[in-house]
Amino acid sequence: MLELASYVGARWVAGTGAAHTLLNPTTEEPLARASSEGIDLDAALRHARTVGGPALRAMSFAERGAMLKAIAEAMQGEREALLARLDEQTRREVMALLAYAEDDAGGQHEQRAAEKRARQQRH
């Protein structure tokens, strides 16, 4: 079974205590195991406040968008492997959500373009 680690203080750290089994909420099938025991959560919070937060605040909206796009592309690159971990019902639900998100993103783009054209015509 997949054993999960936590990204704390700019490195991956595995918990040292008894791991908890994480379940698929739809089927209750075990998906992975994880433990936060032994992980320095104070250090994680300090890192977030002193490194992560300031780094994000220093980024422009476009830079943050590019970072999110890179994350989405990385996930898309592993799409089949990620989907293979899901049971059939959850896979159908995820695929439906992805299709909706793609359609909605396109719809929002078209709506913004139409609004921009309308503003240009008024001026």
pLDDT score of 98: 73
Q: How far apart are CA 92 and CA 98, in angstroms?
A: 10
* Other CB atoms within 10 Å distance of the CB of residue 35: 17
pLDDT of residue 85: 74
Question: Can you give the pLDDT at residue 80?
Answer: 83
Give tens-digit pLDDT for 84-102.
Answer: 777 777 777 777 777 766 6
pTM value is: 0.51
The string of pLDDT tens digits covering residues 43-68 is 889 999 999 999 999 999 999 989 88
The Cα 41–Cα 89 span in angstroms is: 35
The CA distance from 75 to 93, in Å, is: 17
- What is d(CA 11, CA 30) in angstroms, rounded to the nearest whole number? 26
Query: Taking a C-beta distance cutoff of 8 angstroms, is the pair 15, 37 a contact?
Result: yes
- Count of alpha carbons within 13 angstroms of residue 69, beta-carbon side: 7
CA–CA dist 54, 6 (Å, integer): 21
